[in-house]
Amino acid sequence: MPVSRLRRPPCTLRAALLTAATALVCILTPIAVPASATATTPAPGGASADQVPGMDVSRHQGTVDWQGAWDNGARWAYVKATEGTDFQSPTFAEQFQGAYDVGMIRGAYHFARPDTSGGAEQAQNLVDHGGKWTDDGRTLPPALDIEYNPNGDDVCYGRSQSDMVAWIREFSDTVNELTGRHPAIYTTADWWTQCTGNDASFGSTNPLWIARYAASPGTLPAGWSDHTFWQYADSGTFPGDQNWFNGTQEELEALAKG
């Protein structure tokens, strides 16, 4: 069973996450997240000031100091729930509840394995094990983590571009049927271009969670005029990966409310 969540691909692939000035360097310098969580918080270079700090975690973070993250400014979190068709994170329930208990808005994400099954089966795994959505104002739409294959050189999991688009569509439609929300899509511009042919058909339905370890989100995949979430570093002030929500606290609450 893969340990999942290869956020940091090999240097040959990781260059796509870096600016041109640093593309030849395979060392990432995390961007510190300020403690304040107000809409006027100073943001990393090139980013808007109207952003809300957040984080994402998996079983690799173990027991998370949620109160410490809250005190340092985090106001939302995504927690890994599932992977493929048969993996459920053993720390999901504790982490998901811990984020809620300190006041965070939180959501569940699924690590995609298009090489092991169809999208509908994996969507069912997510919804059955933490990916349900409720309009309580504290639950983000589920998220699909679709990125570099952690188990080999075939970054597209053996699927053609058209097959990959169909797989993502099946996953997204199934989640929507089961929860009433289309999932956010976590990806990189490089992976999306390489493995979907830079398909533009998801921008009108699925929030974009872009990963780019740089001073700005950069050029987005086709179909999205803006991002909703931005993962900009794999370590920093909070446990796990460091993120911004692209909007105010009120807009974040509206997204959760649906």
d(CA 204, CA 244): 21
d(CA 208, CA 117): 23
Q: Is 56 a catalytic residue?
A: yes
Average pLDDT of the residues of the chain: 86
Nearest to 228 by CA among 167, 143, 159, 151: 143
From the candidates 147, 190, 199, 241, which is the catalytic residue?
147
146-184 tens-digit pLDDT: 999 998 889 999 999 999 999 999 999 999 999 999 999
From the candidates 86, 94, 136, 145, which is the catalytic residue?
145
Q: Is 170 a catalytic residue?
A: no
- Domains, the chain, with CATH or none: 11-257 (3.20.20.80)
pLDDT in the model for residue 153: 82
d(CA 172, CA 185): 9
Q: Is 177 a catalytic residue?
A: no
| Percentage of the chain modeled with pLDDT above 70 | 81
pLDDT confidence bin for 87, thresholds 50/70/90: very high
Helix spans in the chain (H): 11-14, 66-71, 92-101, 119-128, 161-179, 189-196, 249-257
- Half-sphere exposure of residue 164: CA atoms within 13 angstroms, side-chain side: 24
